Amino acid sequence: MENIYRLLRPEVNKNRRLVSAEIERLALSEDRVARYEPDLRKVIETLVDCEGWTSVSKVGDNLLGARKFGCTMSFEPGGQWEVSAPPTSTVSQWRKGQEKLDTELMALDAVKDLHTMHIGLNPWEAVDDIPLLPSPRYDLMDAHFKKVGGRGREMMRLTVGLQVNLDYNTEKHAMQLLRAGFFLAPPLSALFSNSPFARGKSTGNLSERHFIWTKTDPDRSGFIEEALRENFTLREYAAHIASVPLMYAFDEAGDVYGPQGHPWKNLDSSDQERNALGPSSRCSLRPGSNRVPWRSAFLIRFRRRCLAAQQP
């Protein structure tokens, strides 16, 4: 647990208070939803080969993530397209950077036949219509969600979202942000509901995505009740993370493997340190889709247990 606490412990810098967001989109190619192959792969390859971007995630010959000057581009398991500008001091500064980045990307020849939708759920396709990206991590996640039941496989392939990243500079501040996220996310989810369709038909819900996420995984969906206490500490949060069954972990060679449902605290000591403090720790330690701070920033996804947002 101590290694996880060290991972989450803030780097005290009172002058550093940055904000950013990660925006996922559904990409369309002519009259169909775009796929990594053949549509989106050529976009990221163009960035790396011709536009000065650096590959930061690659499986075999498949580029899955790239970065340039703090801007990032990556793909979710079902090929959802994520593009993010670097963190800034204010929301307005970040928005300007994001708009500039979007304009530059959409001007590329590789993108000329693509269109994007800001929508919470793929409204046309079913889970089995969508191939996963070529990644062992996603294969292990898929197997995990099959085992636990629920709607995790739909989450991976069909949902699209916005994630907000907020700096914290003290442990108390971190827990205040965590509680604020718990209280604010449900009404914000309801307020910005925009996924009433699934598999080409109306679902009767204003946000079908919300219902998918509440049934993704009992260990990864819903509130952490203890965290609503005002005296809940970062160490307690680290202990909670250490107890959640891992979907995957990394071995000494850096290869991903299935930990057979064991939590981080049950790994060998060498695996604990590697998966808490190593370069792959952000991925292997994600216990929940909505509740993991990374270093001195909280990632808050507006997909938590939500207010019922149903059509009358």
Please tell me the distance from the alpha carbon of residue 270 to that of residue 273, in angstroms, as a whole number: 5
Six token digits for residue 262: 């064991």
Using a 10 angstrom Cβ sphere, with 0-12 exposed, 13-18 middle and 19 or more buried, the burial of residue 234 is buried
What mean pLDDT is predicted for residues 100-120?
93
Q: For the whole model, what pTM was predicted? A: 0.86
Listed in sequence order, the residues at least 6 apart from 279 whose beta carbon sits closer than 8 Å to its beta carbon are none
Residue 294 dihedral angles phi and psi, to the nearest 5°: -120, 110
Residue 92 has pLDDT above 70, yes or no: yes
Per-residue pLDDT tens for 220-256?
Answer: 887 888 998 999 999 999 899 899 899 999 888 888 9
Per-residue pLDDT tens for 42-85?
Answer: 999 999 999 999 999 999 999 999 999 999 999 999 999 999 99
What mean pLDDT is predicted for residues 110-117?
92
Residue 297 has pLDDT above 50, yes or no: no
Q: Which fold has domain 2-301?
A: Creatine Kinase; Chain A, domain 2 (3.30.590)
Please tell me the distance from the alpha carbon of residue 181 to that of residue 300, in angstroms, as a whole number: 6
Residue-level pLDDT at 277: 58
Q: Which amino acid is at 115?
A: H
The helix/strand/coil state of 25 is: strand
Please tell me the distance from the alpha carbon of residue 169 to that of residue 57, in angstroms, as a whole number: 29
Strand ranges in the chain using DSSP code E only, listed in sequence order: 19-29, 32-33, 54-59, 62-68, 71-75, 81-84, 114-117, 162-167, 197-198, 201-202, 249-250, 256-257, 293-294, 297-301
Residue 107 has pLDDT above 90, yes or no: yes
Please tell me the distance from the alpha carbon of residue 251 to that of residue 288, in angstroms, as a whole number: 21
What mean pLDDT is predicted for residues 275-304?
44
What mean pLDDT is predicted for residues 16-40?
90
Residue 288 has pLDDT above 70, yes or no: no
The helix/strand/coil state of 121 is: strand
pLDDT band, residue 14 (cuts 50/70/90): low
In terms of Cα–Cα distance, which of 129, 29, 27, 156 is closest to 82?
27
Give me the percent of the chain exceeding a pLDDT of 90. 58
Residue 216 has pLDDT above 80, yes or no: yes
